[in-house]
């Protein structure tokens, strides 16, 4: 089995675009939350989200025609382009069929679906724009990356909702570990859209102004968006080309309890952690930091914390949630978590949970790294990703020995 390493990072987020800006955003505890601009939110009581206001795809993309692709595909392709540039890889040095892409998503191109639906309601099926209809399939997220980077290997979109990026990283890990590929681009992309905002509001899971994970008075999520892609390659391939290596993907675990449409399951999450540890050959005591799913809802944070206590006992590492800064970026969420965890290892710091004010007595013993980033020696990171339907996926990332 080949060892798999991270050599390129491509964050397109509300707290920064590109590695340098994203790292600064994490260190500063920057909030990327702002009033929604991508759709008319005036009818909603809650009108904030983690949009990416400075996103100019035409400035980042070289090959694909921006007008032919939806916003989520643009995020995926731009993030992959950034990851490639960050890696220093010459694409010509890799056979196209030995490089592939796996992208996770929740909503796919729901912004496009909403647009063509509005056309259909107003003018019937004949009024639907064929060019927009071509942008609808969620599979185009991975296809956009393959087209932008001229890849001919695996090209797959996974729709396992809010844990989808970790599923994608696990899939890419397997491709590389087994020798089916030499280079893989993995992560996720999603866009702020009306239906997700409305859906979470109707579920009672949407907060008004600030997401406060692990705080006693936490009241819900804020939706977010962006693209988070990591370039992974085999360690041998990276060393042969003299690449800078950020970290190693040690392994992953996935399970699906299908216990409830939306409620997380403590036992299943704990089992997923244990499976990830076994796959990565690490013990709970080896983990220095947990990048939490940490949505800021009362249910998720309580269940996630209790599962952590079940697995880690009285030795719980620091646990923070970057969703406090960016909102819930849906299918991209655990991709951003993987990037944050990789940067924590590479630069020796713990990203904070911002908007935290009141300790929750029920979560006593959990250190959320409140409000301010912390310098730390980080060797192993556990990156949690959980989704509706009981889709759990956890990735372990470590320093390269």
pLDDT digits (tens, 9 = 90+) for 35-77: 999 999 999 999 999 999 989 999 999 999 999 999 999 999 9
Architecture of domain 251-398: 3-Layer(aba) Sandwich (3.40)
Query: Given 162, 193, 211, 291, which residue is catalytic?
Result: 162
In sequence order, the 6+-apart residues with CB closer than 8 A to the CB of 242 are none
* Whether pLDDT at 258 is above 90: no
* pLDDT (average), residues 300-319: 97
Q: What CATH fold (topology level) applies to the domain 4-241?
A: Peroxisomal Thiolase; Chain A, domain 1 (3.40.47)
Give the domain ranges of the chain: 4-241, 251-398
Burial tier of 219 (Cβ tally within 10 Å: 0-12, 13-18, 19+): middle
pLDDT at 54: 87
**Rounded mean pLDDT, 104-133:** 94
Catalytic residue, chosen from 143, 237, 277, 328, is 328
CA distance 144 to 135: 10
| 328 flagged as catalytic | yes
Active site residue 197: no
pTM greater than the 0.85 cutoff? yes
CA 316 vs. chain centroid, Å, equals: 23
The pLDDT value given to residue 6: 98
On the question of a common fold for 4-241 and 251-398, the answer reads: yes
pLDDT digits (tens, 9 = 90+) for 132-186: 999 999 999 999 999 999 999 999 999 999 999 999 999 999 999 999 999 999 9
Mean pLDDT of the chain: 97
pLDDT at 259: 87
The yes-or-no answer on residue 277 being catalytic is: no
Cβ atoms of 14 and 226 within 8 Å: the answer is yes
């Amino acid at each position: 089995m080949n060892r798999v390493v991270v050599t390129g990072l491509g964050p397109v987020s509300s707290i920064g675009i590109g590695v340098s800006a994203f790292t600064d955003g994490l260190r500063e505890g920057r909030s990327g939350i702002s009033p929604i601009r991508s759709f008319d939110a005036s009818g909603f009581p809650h009108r904030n989200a983690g949009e990416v206001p400075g996103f100019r795809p035409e400035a980042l993309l070289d090959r694909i025609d921006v007008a032919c692709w939806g916003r989520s595909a643009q995020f995926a392709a731009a993030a992959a382009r950034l990851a490639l540039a960050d890696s220093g890889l010459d694409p010509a040095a890799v056979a196209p069929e030995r490089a592939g892409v796996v992208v996770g998503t929740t909503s796919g191109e729901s912004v496009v679906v909403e647009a063509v639906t509005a056309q259909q309601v107003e003018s019937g099926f004949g009024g639907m724009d064929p060019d927009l209809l071509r942008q609808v399939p969620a599979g185009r997220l991975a296809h956009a990356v393959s087209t932008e980077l001229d890849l001919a290997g695996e090209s797959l979109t996974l729709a396992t909702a809010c844990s989808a990026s970790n599923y994608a990283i696990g899939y890419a890990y397997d491709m590389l570990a087994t020798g089916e590929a030499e280079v893989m681009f993995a992560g996720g992309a999603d866009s702020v859209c009306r239906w997700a905002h409305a859906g979470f509001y109707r579920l009672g899971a949407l907060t008004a102004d600030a997401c406060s994970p692990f705080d006693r008075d936490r009241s819900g999520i804020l939706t977010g968006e962006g693209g988070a892609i990591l370039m992974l390659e085999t360690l041998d391939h990276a060393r042969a080309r003299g690449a800078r290596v950020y970290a190693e993907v040690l392994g992953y675990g996935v399970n699906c309890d299908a216990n409830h449409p939306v409620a997380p399951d403590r036992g299943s999450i704990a089992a997923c952690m244990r499976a990830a540890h076994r796959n990565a050959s690490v013990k709970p005591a080896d983990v220095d930091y947990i990048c939490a799913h940490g949505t800021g809802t009362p249910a998720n944070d309580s269940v996630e914390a209790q599962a952590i206590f079940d697995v880690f006992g009285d030795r719980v590492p620091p646990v923070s949630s970057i969703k406090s800064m960016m909102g819930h970026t849906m299918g991209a969420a655990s991709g951003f978590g993987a990037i944050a965890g990789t940067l924590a290892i590479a630069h020796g710091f713990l990203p904070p949970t911002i908007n935290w004010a009141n300790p929750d007595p029920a979560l006593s013993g959990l250190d959320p790294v409140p409000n301010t980033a912390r310098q730390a020696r980080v060797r192993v990171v556990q990156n949690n990703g959980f989704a509706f339907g009981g889709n759990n996926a956890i990735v372990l990332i470590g320093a390269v020995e």
